[in-house]
Amino acid sequence: MSQSIFEQLGGEAAVDAAVEVFYRKVLSDDRISHFFEGVDMAAQAAKQKAFLTMAFGGPHGYSGLDMRRAHAHLVEKGLNDFHFDAVMENLAATMQELHVPEALIAEAAAIAESTRNDVLGR
Amino acid sequence: MPDIRYNGRAYPLSDGQSVLECLIEHGVSVPFGCRSGVCQACLMRAETGHPPEASQKGLKPALADRNYFLACVCNPRESISVSLPCREGTRTPASIVGMELLSSEIMYVSLQPHELIEYRAGQFINLYQAENLARSYSVASLPTEDPYIHIHVRRVPEGRVSNWVHDALRPGDTVDIQGPNGDCYYQAGSPEQSLLLIGTGSGLAPLYGIIRDALAQGHTGPIRLFHGSRTPNGLYLTDRLRELTQTYSNFDYTPCLSGEPVLKGYARGRVHEIALSKLSDLKEWRVFLCGHPEMVKNAQKKAFLAGASLKDITCDAFTSHATFR
């Protein structure tokens, strides 16, 4: 059986290295930063870590229904494909910055992409 | 619908209500302070049933293991029997040994606990004005250098405890305190790390303690303090801090004023904006933020975006519930 990206990248340590880089990009991105106004940063970083673990194919407890529920209040505020694309871009840029091979970046992007309809409540 | 059982009576819990809200609604008098799960003044114990994990956040493991919880952030799904912790176990009487007005708003209070309290500079204690009325104050003293516990009490308009401290409390009086609590203190082990400390008003108290602790422990990296207020009355210990910059070349102090008038020797603007404009790269820095909740929240975000790791940013926001001054 082939290793998941999560294992190939070095497991939880890789996610720990990526989470702050990713969260910083998301918070500084004017297209989506307003969705994070006023949130508890420590709690939000924990969610980003869970998201990255999932995108890296690691062990996670997310179901499609969870993704729906968690983002419903943002969909009400206008969350749409434009914002989802911005997050996808930040995910790829984070992995590039950490010198992750392109093939693994594509694999992580495909996993993250698979949540699009749930996140956007469709 | 779950019940909260207390002192032999059962009180029905409404949807979304905390244990504290439920008891208060039914006219039961129990201690509380911040109502935000921070000050720990509303500590209670579950006699039966298990308190939700979220209500034990920040408690010492020894207390959490014995089913202690914070009533203000406890939303149980099932009925529980609760009690107040025995008074002897958690509170200590302390004598007021000194008081001095440091500015028109800030009262320095020196306390001698009647039994040994082991604390770190920067942690906070709860000061009880009455059996059920407490407020949290950060500790500015250093246990290795100061014989007493020092706190700085800012007079809050209509503040029940702060006005009592300023107007009624006198040296020789005895008060109840509880603590220490919190994780806002200097951690030895990285003497070369750069430290950034930003505070508003009496948020200087923990920072002053942390700075003296760091210097006493031989910290060699840069220590940069930014203290802000709207008016000069909110700033204090300015002479003492300027003296410290003369003694320690790695310590730097910038008093900031956000309101009028513009005074010589003070930076003009909001304290965290001034600090972050001067220090644009905080990678590997340790950051302490104390005081006004909005400042703390904004500064936390800016410090993180400037490269500080979240685990290296310690926030001590002074919560106050508007209706419970």
Report whether pLDDT(B321) > 60.
no
Which long-range contacts (C-beta less than 8 Å, at least 24 apart) are formed by A70-78? A71/A118, A71/A119, A71/A120, A71/A121, A72/A121, A74/A35, A75/A120, A75/A121, A77/A35
**Where residue B284 falls among pLDDT bands split at 50, 70, 90?**
very high
pLDDT, one tens digit per residue, over A55-106 is 888 877 677 778 898 899 999 999 999 999 999 999 999 999 999 999 999 9
Asked if residue B315 lies in contact with residue B303, where contact means CB atoms within 8 angstroms, the answer is no
* Interface touch B310/A20, C-beta < 8 Å: yes
The two beta strands, B124-130 and B91-101, are: unpaired
Give the CA distances from residue B157 to residues A73, B130, B162, B163, B166, in Å, rounded to whole numbers and listed in that order. 37, 19, 9, 8, 12
Distance of CA B66 to the CA centre of its chain: 25
Average pLDDT across chain B, whole number: 90
Residue B323 is predicted with a pLDDT of 31
As annotated, the residues of chain B forming the CATH 2.40.30.10 domain(s) are: 92-181
What is the C-alpha separation between B44 and B46, in angstroms, rounded? 7
In this prediction, residue B325 carries a pLDDT of 33
**Residue ranges with strand state E in chain B:** 3-6, 9-12, 43-48, 68-70, 80-83, 91-101, 106-113, 124-130, 133-138, 149-154, 174-181, 195-200, 223-229, 251-257, 267-268, 286-291, 313-317
Residues facing B290 on adjacent strands: B199, B316
Q: What is the pLDDT of residues B132-184, one digit of tens each?
A: 888 999 999 999 999 999 999 999 999 999 999 999 999 999 999 988 888 88
Q: List helix spans (H) across B168-220.
A: 204-216
**Of 3.40.50.80, 3.40.190.290, 3.40.50.410, 3.20.20.190, which CATH number belongs to B195-317?**
3.40.50.80
- The answer to whether the CB atoms of A42 and B305 lie below 8 A apart is no
> Does residue B282 surpass a pLDDT of 60?
yes
What is the residue whose two structure tokens read 């229904």? A65
Task: Classify domain B3-83 at the CATH class level.
Answer: alpha beta
Least confident window among A72-81, B79-88, B89-98, B205-214: B79-88
Kindly state the percentage of chain B with pLDDT values over 90. Answer: 65
pLDDT at A1 over 50: no
CA atoms within 13 A on the CB side of B292: 15
Nearest residue in chain B measured CA to CA from A26: B305
- Per CB-CB distance under 8 Å, the chain B contacts of A27 are 301, 304-305
Distance CA B319, CA B300 (A): 16
Interface contact flag, A27 B310, Cβ < 8 Å: no
Task: Identify the three-state secondary structure at position B306.
Answer: coil
B227-277: pLDDT as tens digits: 999 988 889 999 999 999 999 999 999 999 999 877 888 999 999 999 999
Query: Domain span at residue A110?
Result: 5-120
Smallest Cβ–Cβ distance between A27 and the set B297, B301, B309 belongs to B301
**β-bridge mates for residue B154, sequence order:** B106
Residue limits of CATH 3.10.20.30 in chain B: 3-83
Q: Which residue of A has its CA nearest to B300?
A: A41
Q: How many contiguous H segments (helices) and E segments (strands) does chain B have?
A: 8, 17
- Number of structural domains in chain A: 1
- Please answer yes or no on whether B301 and A45 come within 8 Å at the CB atom: no
**Interface predicted TM-score (ipTM) of this complex, two decimals:** 0.88
Q: How far apart are CA B200 and CA B259, in angstroms?
A: 13
Domain CATH for A108? 1.10.490.10
Does A73 carry a binding-site annotation? Answer: no
Which residue in chain B has the smallest CA separation from A28?
A: B305
Q: What fold characterizes domain B92-181? A: Elongation Factor Tu (Ef-tu); domain 3 (2.40.30)
**What is the rounded CA–CA span in Å between residue A111 and residue A91?**
11
Q: Does the distance separating the beta carbons of B301 and A42 come in below 8 Å?
A: no
Spacing of C-alpha A41 from chain mean position:
15
Residue B39 confidence (pLDDT): 81
Say how many residues make up chain B: 325
Chain A residues whose beta carbon lies within 8 Å of the beta carbon of residue B310: 20, 41-42, 45
CB contact under 8 A, A28 and B305: yes
Q: Which pair of structure tokens corresponds to residue B147?
A: 């014989």
CA distance B228 to B245: 17
Burial of B163: CB neighbours in 10 Å, binned 0-12, 13-18, 19+: middle
Closest to B59 (Cα-Cα) out of B88, B30, B90: B90
Task: Identify the closest residue of chain A to B298 by CA–CA distance.
Answer: A38
> What is residue B180's predicted lDDT score, i.e. its pLDDT?
85
